[in-house]
Each structure stands twice: as C-alpha cells, then as structure tokens.
C-alpha cells in the first residue's frame, strides 16, 4: 500500500504538469541557427501567467508540509523509506547521476542533427545555463536552511532533492523547446525525470517529500529562466538578436564545433 501510494505521488507529477502551456506575447526578433539554416523568427517572449506556477508551488508546498513535524506527509516519508529498505535493502543503481541531465542534453542533440526547437542553439544554451544557476542557488540555499538529514544519515542536505530538481528543470526545458514539434518530447523528458526521482528513493538518498519538492523547484526554475533570459540578453547585448555560425570541424582525428558570432 505504501509503495503504491509513493509511486502515485511521483507519477502524478507528469500528468498534472504537462497540460500547463506558456502564454506568449507578440514580440518577435530574428536570429540565425546552425550554419546552412535560414534565418527564422525568434519565438515571442515567455510571459507566464500566475497559473503556470501553481503546479510547482503545490509540489514545493507538499515538501514544506513535511518539515512541520508529525503529519501524514512526513509519516508517508518514513513508511515509504521503511518499505523500500525492507524490500530492496541492497539496491544500488547510480544512473540517476546521469539521467538528471538527459532531457537537457537531448535538446542540444536534436538541434545538432537539425531538429529545430523553439530557440536557436545559442539561445537555448543561454536559457539552460540560466536554469542551472537558478536551480542550483535555490536548491542549495534551501538545503542549508532546512538542514534535513538524509534517509541513509550520510549528511544533512536532504531537502529538496538536487538530482530531482535538475532532472525536472531539464525535462521542462525539453518540453518548452519541443512541445510544438511533438508533445511526446515533453512526456519522455518528464518520464526520465520521474525515473530519476524514484532512483533517489531506492538509493535511500531522499525522502518522498524531498523528491516532490525538488520537482517543483526544477520546473519553476526553468519557467523563471525562460521569463528572464530575453531581458538579461538585452541588457548584455543591447539588441534583440545574436548573429552566429556553428560549423563542425575535424582536425587530428578530433571532431569539434567552431562558433563564430556577433554579440
């Protein structure tokens, strides 16, 4: 019963969030993609309505409730942990260390092979870097404030789950970039992110509430990065577009990419 409830809490993350779309405005700029591709219009700036943050807020709120002492959320943490350790005490699979980045890496892989996302490659990279900064600062700050012990008692940096936050930030990034191409990209990204969170539980590194809250932090961080990136870019470049070329290279048996641009 506890295991079924634990998995239900995690899988609901996919189905509750994927229906929330971004709300654009009508501002457009031109940018240049990979060398050989024609100029294209940048997407409208992302202007999310408050409802876009409802689901992430619910996830974070769920986690915060667990910090308030003895309550049903915290009891589920302990019962889930005990059940997993009873049934899978020797489980050890560290694929979560790599899966957390998989949806984000997929965005750049798709761009390189010619499947265009919502943004040019360089803008997508800028958004992803900003997402990583927001996720990292917010998660690490909360970890230090809450000082929660991990289930395996290895340290006091349990809440929220950083791996899960990174995974869901990456999944939301993939969804934002490729949802217009096919919603299946977003579904796949969120499935991988959910798998990352489940592995954190099976590896006894996090409580269920850590994982759910981490998902909320990750999703919100990406949405915030999409909102802030165009404004930050204008501050640093003084213009609304970046002109660049990205050319594959091969020298001394080493493949690479040459980036030339005007910023």
Per-residue pLDDT of the chain (263 residues; tens, 9 = 90+): 444 444 455 545 554 555 444 433 333 333 333 433 334 556 677 787 888 899 999 999 999 999 998 999 999 999 999 999 998 888 888 999 999 999 999 999 999 999 999 999 999 999 999 999 999 999 999 999 999 999 999 999 999 999 999 999 999 999 999 999 999 999 999 999 999 999 999 999 999 999 999 999 999 999 999 999 999 988 887 765 555 455 555 455 555 545 555 54
Query: Nearest Cα to 233, choosing from 192, 203, 200, 263?
Result: 263
Indicate the pairing of strand 40-41 with strand 30-31.
Answer: antiparallel
61, HSE (Cβ side, Cα atoms, 13 Å): 6
* Contact yes or no for 233/251 (Cβ under 8 A): no
- The C-alpha atoms of residue 248 and residue 2 are separated, in whole angstroms, by 52
The DSSP secondary-structure symbol of 24 reads: B
For residues 235-257, one letter each, b for 16 or more C-beta atoms within 10 angstroms of the residue's C-beta and e for the rest, the string is eeeeeebbebebeeeeeeeeeee
Tokens (6 digits) for 48: 């999310």
- The C-alpha atoms of residue 110 and residue 43 are separated, in whole angstroms, by 18
């Amino acid at each position: 019963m506890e295991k079924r409830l634990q998995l239900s809490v995690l899988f609901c993350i996919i189905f509750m969030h994927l229906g929330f779309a971004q709300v654009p405005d009508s501002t457009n700029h031109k940018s240049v993609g990979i060398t050989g591709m024609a100029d294209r219009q940048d997407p409208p700036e992302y202007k999310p309505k408050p409802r876009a943050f409802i689901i992430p807020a619910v996830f974070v709120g769920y986690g915060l409730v667990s910090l308030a002492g003895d309550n049903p959320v915290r009891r589920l943490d302990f019962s889930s942990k005990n059940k997993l350790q009873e049934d899978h005490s020797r489980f050890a699979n560290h694929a979560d260390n790599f899966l957390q980045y998989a949806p984000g890496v997929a965005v750049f892989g798709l761009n390189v092979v010619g499947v265009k996302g919502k943004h040019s490659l360089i803008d997508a990279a800028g958004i992803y870097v900003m997402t990583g900064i927001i996720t990292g600062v917010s998660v690490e700050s909360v970890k230090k404030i809450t000082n929660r012990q991990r289930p395996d008692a290895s340290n006091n940096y349990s809440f929220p789950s950083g791996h899960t936050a990174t995974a869901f930030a990456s999944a939301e990034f993939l969804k934002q970039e490729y949802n217009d191409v096919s919603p299946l990209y977003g579904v796949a990204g969120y499935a991988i992110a959910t798998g990352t969170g489940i592995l954190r539980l099976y590896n006894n590194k996090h409580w269920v509430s850590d994982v759910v809250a981490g998902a909320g932090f990750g999703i919100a961080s990406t949405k915030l990065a999409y909102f802030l990136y165009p404004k930050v870019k204008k501050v640093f470049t003084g213009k609304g577009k970046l002109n660049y070329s990205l050319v594959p290279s091969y020298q001394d048996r080493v493949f690479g990419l040459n980036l030339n641009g005007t910023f």
